[in-house]
Structure 1
Amino acid sequence: MTNNVLDVITCKAAVVRELGGPVTVEEIKVDPPKASEVRVKMLCASICHTDILCCNGVPVPLFPRIPGHEGVGMVESVGINVKTGVKPGDIVMPLYLGECGECLNCKSGKTNICHAHSIGLTGLMPDGTSRMSMAATGETIYHHFSCSTWSEYMVIDINYVLKIDPKMPLPYASFLSCGFTTGFGAPWKETPIHKDSSVAVFGLGAVGLGVPTLFLAIKGAEMQGASKIIGVDINETKSTKGKVFGMTDFINPKDHPNQSVSNLVKDITDGLAAVVRELGGPVTVEEIKVDPPKASEVRIKMSMIESVGINMKTKVKPGDIVMPLYLGECGQCLNCKSGKTNICHVHPLVLNSLMPDGTSRMSVATTGETIYHHFSCSTWSEYMVIDINYVLKIDPKMPLPYASFLSCGFTTGFGAPWKETPIHKDTSVVVFGLGAVGLG
């Protein structure tokens, strides 16, 4: 391994070369950090189930790539304009989510999906290029989220780096950037838990064990903990581990084949239902307000443009039939030109649920409460506002119910054999599931 500061480093990394392919340890080259970046020597890395999904092309099939988004490392070198006090030798934790502290989401106290530094889905650095390549061939390697911790060295934007206490045990610190904090954040930020209430935690892995630890840590403090923390897991060994983290009761559903978990929970809570918060409540039809479009935006009466904002340099006009897209395309970035992916670097998948200026165009009619968008759009509304870069004008003669599938389901299936899968003449292909995706 060569290691010259601000030179290209040759090192080992775990690489996935193709969709669903094996993870192989290979020799790669890692470029020096550019402006506002640091190069990190990884000291410890963890495995999250999301990394396995990454190997299978979720959320974006970009290959070859280096997985890993949990870990701890030491800063090896820094680029220019690094103003955070991070220096070579510091122990840091790479993050897949940054935080500017100034946008609507960062200030909300409800989410850390920062508008300025969101999850990186393009597989590239903010300038649209990679810092990693195959040592033997020079082929570009894609990053995983904002980082790639399954490498001896990696380059990361400074906004996705957290300096930590060097005395912290590295194997434990490695979990903090994703699994543990997901569980820790659920009762802290998402779930309305009151003093003396009961909580059931399903699954006592890195995420689940983050929940009882929170209550153990905050009892008697500003945030009020629960009186009963019930762990539910089919692995009996988790009973002991859970109690170390602050769990008061344990349920193994396998020990009670004839009883429902909900009834078992009620037995522990003296007939009272525990607070079990899940992502996704019921979908209700409500009256909302939709603001006018701002610059470079259009307001759509679902399927047809109703009004346009200023700076509209395209030929889209009121009355046009359009398809809202959850992925834009600039046609100029590395990804758009690659012919392998349409995950545009300039107009990527929007995960902060806001418009490009960091605000929403929708609110609840009766209360004025802000409503978040879904990706770049929200098609389950009579009207919506969308950035013009996420709009495609279509032939008005096209049957609308069929056209509706084209923006996601059908094109996902259509794109697989066209862009992703090496299918040759006279080969045989098996398609599993003949829904909108499979029939594509």
Structure 2
Amino acid sequence: MSVTTTATSVSYIYQEGEVYSLPYEYQNEADVKASYIDSDGNKVNLAYNVDYTVGGSTVTLIAALPDGVTITFSRQTEITQQTELPQQTITKAIETAIDKNTMCVQEIATDQGTLRAEFNAFTANINQTIVRFEQSFDEFKISINQAIVNLEQNFDEFEKTVNQSITNFEQNFNDFKKEVNQTVADAIAEVEAIKETAITEMNDIKDETQNIANNVNVFIPFVNNGTLSWTNEAGLPNPAPVNIKGEQGSPGKDGVDGTDGTAATIAIGTVTTGEPGSSASVVNSGTATAAVFDITIPRGDKGADGTGAGDVIAAADNTFTATNTFYGVLKTKSDMQAVGSLPTVLQRGDSNIQAYTLKNGLSRSVVFRDTGDMTGYAKTFIISVARSGGTGTFSIGSNNGIGANTPTVYMVDGALPDIADGEVLKIAMEVNEPANAIFIYILGKVAL
């Protein structure tokens, strides 16, 4: 046998039923040792011919191991020299050399055993240090938890102290307020007493003076702003005026300022167009401090019918400035052109009044969108919508455009009414570029 590799061990991930290859040579099958590390980190040695067998360059496991462990197969040759050569010079020299190598290997193995023992002792010392550290950490954690408990208790006591201080302050403040109110009440009572005394004294003086005047008919008293003066009909010198008004009482203490009230707000709620002839109204649907005004403005009365007959022709600029009742055909070159496969997008163009018929489940949503130069453009167009059965709806869409701007759509007369089968709805669309707005007017609805 020759030794062609330096490998002495090999490791595999355990899989049940697998046969493992050995990449090294050995002299005795029992020299191939098998072991693995369990989940606790301990090394578990397997027994030859009990847990595994060795044949050729392969190892077969008999025992079932835990899934996923790493199994190691290592060669551990017994360090002995059991071969004795014939007593010849050359063979004796070879045997002596082999004996010497065997003894050297044994010594190396002994040194390795010593190192292994020292390493195991070092490992045990490290493990003991870890245990002591964990114990110290547990004690530290207990100390921290106790400190937290003490802090919470101290905080609870502090909170109680603060609450008691607040209660004492409120009690002292209430006592002070009562004292101020009592002082004010005493001052008012004192002023009233002085006033009553002064009135009584003045009445006594008045009665005495009246008695003297009645008896001698000389002096007549007169009181003005607390000053007593005299007149007489005999033209005699009058006594000097006397101030009979009592001294002014000392000012009372100022009362406690009240808290500021909430600032009132006003907002506009709904704005509704009322029926012609009804009264305008403003209703506060909010509160006294947060008013929301819902406004109703009546629509103007319908103008008198015209007296003409026949067709009605639009003005030269195709702008309708009023709604008229007429008989005949409404003719106009409306400057509005429907575009697209579904004619629901209107632009400037050269077509007549746009007309739509709702039938089946078909719905129409019409918009005006023209991205050209619309500067100063202000025109009113007529749209006619009829229903011929079905449940489709008609509406004014939101994707409108006047030039590069998105206008606001105003439903001047409110929401569009429902259209019954056989009815025609007439509406007017005013496109107003200066106002960046589209105004929708309901002209009327008739049954065909």
Give TM class, smaller chain. Answer: under 0.3
Q: Which has the higher helix share?
A: 2
* Higher RCO, 1 vs 2 (CA within 8 Å, ≥6 residues apart): 1
After TM superposition, the score normalised by the length of structure 1 is 0.14
Larger radius of gyration, structure 1 or 2?
2
